[in-house]
Amino acid sequence: MRDLTNNASDNVFGLAVDSVSQTLVANGNSAFFADINASALFNLRLQGSFQTTLPGNGVAYHPQAVCTIGGNVHTRVAFVMQGDSSIAVVDCFAFRKSKTIPVRTALYGPMRAVLPTNGELAIDPTLSVKLYCLTKEGLLVIPIRTSDLP
């Protein structure tokens, strides 16, 4: 934790860990990506960051995200809430935004990424992941298709 917080003195509004527990992302005024060193307890090394448009809230990895050089480019992504009512799709290896998903209303709080069920895939085979977010009106489910990913 010390390296991550020393490099970025920031409030943290969202936190996520990739599918193999090797990379962490913390979202505040920016999204900060850190390597999790399993041999040294609480030793997070800052690997890179992504500057958001405004301070955001939740963040989530693709459920199958592996943020290493061998990871699948289509699942090697983090979904980062931004303060301008949008979600940035960020490559968690290169720390670059590949797409922006606009949302009609402001998002707040945590975000969850879930794989679609077999029934949902039978109806729409292009569905890759579903994002669950909170708005003032209630729960918002955002379908992410393969064309929305890098």
Tell me the per-residue pLDDT of 115-142, one tens digit each, with 9 for 90 and over. Answer: 999 999 999 999 999 999 998 889 999 9
Tell me the per-residue pLDDT of 16-65, one tens digit each, with 9 for 90 and over. Answer: 888 888 888 888 778 888 887 655 555 677 787 888 877 768 899 999 99
Q: 117, exposed or middle or buried, with CB in 10 Å at 0-12, 13-18, 19+?
A: exposed
- For 2-148, CATH gives 2.130.10.10
Contact 80, 56 (CB under 8 A): yes
Q: Domain limits of the chain?
A: 2-148
Q: What are phi and psi of 114, to 5 degrees?
A: -135, 140
